[in-house]
Structure 1
């Protein structure tokens, strides 16, 4: 199958769900959740480009950001087809306001130090990989096709972030302190990854994606194993789960991300290289 250099599918396979009017609202929302989380986290990680503490990490993080933004193009491209209102991936990325974004709150949190950045990436990667593996068996051929491509990169992301958590957690007293502090800071945001609502229930019932709660046991097993090797204590249940990103209730941080990310398109509408 022919593919663009960016990873977008040029000759997509037939998929009856793309033109299913009854399912379209939920399917579109779910696809935006997939694409927006990848886009916002990709932008966050890209902020380290030229600023990481070591050249190897600088390059690796830039590549991770590019991978995630490549995933965004596929998910939001399909979302535009499902919506069928003439919006492509670029329009969905650059011409929506914060309240219309459906990313996980975890993805928009500030980078902090490298401990926060690496821990955030690991917590996201563990769930992202598990989800994409399930999606390769989706009854939606288009979703399965995107997942099959993205999961290869997600596998590397998880391997790399797991390794860094172990190296920093089981490193110096200072690196361990920072990693434990990062884990505690981010922990209230992880439950959002496993909370299902009507959108999730609709796509799960159709066989397109798993119920988010079905991923939690696998995620916990991965996280517990890596944290144990890293000599880090896994927190107990969060007293209050921070949720709302997937329905458009965001932290103040997303507005600043979009102001930077969308500036060129907003300043010069329709501009092309």
Structure 2
């Protein structure tokens, strides 16, 4: 373990997340594979080691500061891209059963390769649109926790994600800058999809790596039958009153 890994480990430990040597090695392999595959396809604009660790790995794990992942069994990550936040969360909390949804098959291939390289079990990467997959009985209203990181505005994201959340489960939207305007615009979609905003948490990433916000939304009932609307519609016509 080098000096930087010691710092990464200690910073997470201060937030109650303890990583062992095996987990630190998994993060090292993750970074290596991310850089390698990024030469063939666009996974991330960040490839240098320290920014990847803080802006991708640590940022993903901040969800565990506000949601007790020990009480979560099933996690769905919608629009995961290069595996954020679900793969870092799976590394740190191996008991999680993870389902990843992404619309680009190349990213699914990367995630399947990555899961094998990291020795992860109970990780399923699904190729498809969230609006279509949320209609499947095995996925609809099923997950304890659903998350999305930097995918779309909340008004749209609610329709992508809440249909996957079980009644009394949680949707966590991971955002960058102040989401107050997004929250106001999303009031109608939250009500329509049986979501209730519980908390908004603000944090700063270490080493001045940026501001983040995590929105915690409770699912108060099953998804109404008319949602989600056909693929592409939520983006073109976000849910709004009137």
TM > 0.5 fold call: no
TM-score normalized by the length of structure 2: 0.33
The structure whose residues are more often strand, as a share, is 2
Larger Rg: 1
Higher helix share: 1
Query: Greater RCO between the two (CA within 8 Å, min separation 6)?
Result: 1
Relative to the length of structure 1, the TM-score reads 0.30
